[in-house]
Amino acid sequence: MGKEFPGWHGTTIIGVRKSGQVVIAGDGQVSLGQTVIKGSARKVRRLSPGGNDVIAGFAGSTADAFTLLERLEAKLEAVPGQLSRAAVELAKDWRMDKYLRNLEAMLIVTDGKDLFVITGAGDVLEPENDVAAIGSGGNFALAAARALMDTDANAETIARRAMTIAADICVYTNGNLTVETIGG
């Protein structure tokens, strides 16, 4: 029997790519069990390794996510402008390294061209339909964004609307958004 990990119940992160614009948005709620600890956390960050913009959003343990973001930044500095390669290298390390293997978080990352979900199982997933979502409200946000992709709305509008819908449904998600955009 595995250990219970309450950290997955506390956030929603969505990535949307449309018409040359890529957006990652995340809510600000941090919950511990049934209690809201903080409502204004920033779970979406802009990284600039080697002068190249990369946006990353995380779900799961904050300390673990920051460790992974630091590792991703180091990988990007080693292979500037190659998010795909850096993401694969991070996923390999995450799966194989004795210390990293225990980290409990997920990432959505973009450089404005690529959009990936990176997991501790060694996955680097490029989403179908240009939408990716993680966290406790991720499936709600994903469904909403996919439904909005055929509208005239841009990527940022789709991400914001999808997050509003997720916040209305998921008790572990709020409407205090951090939104970062590349392109468009």
User: Catalytic residue numbers?
Assistant: 11
Is 44:25 a contact under the CB 8 Å cutoff? yes
Name the strands in the sheet holding 54-60, side by side, starting at the edge strand that comes first in the sequence.
44-47, 54-60, 105-110, 115-118, 124-125
Helix (H) / strand (E) containing 116: strand 115-118
The strand ranges marked E within 115-176 are 115-118, 124-125, 131-135
Amino acid 93 reads D
**Residue 16 and residue 142: Cα distance in Å, rounded?**
9
Tokens coding 99 = 């210390």
**Residue 17 and residue 25: Cα distance in Å, rounded?**
12
Name the strands in the sheet holding 12-18, side by side, starting at the edge strand that comes first in the sequence.
131-135, 12-18, 21-26, 178-183
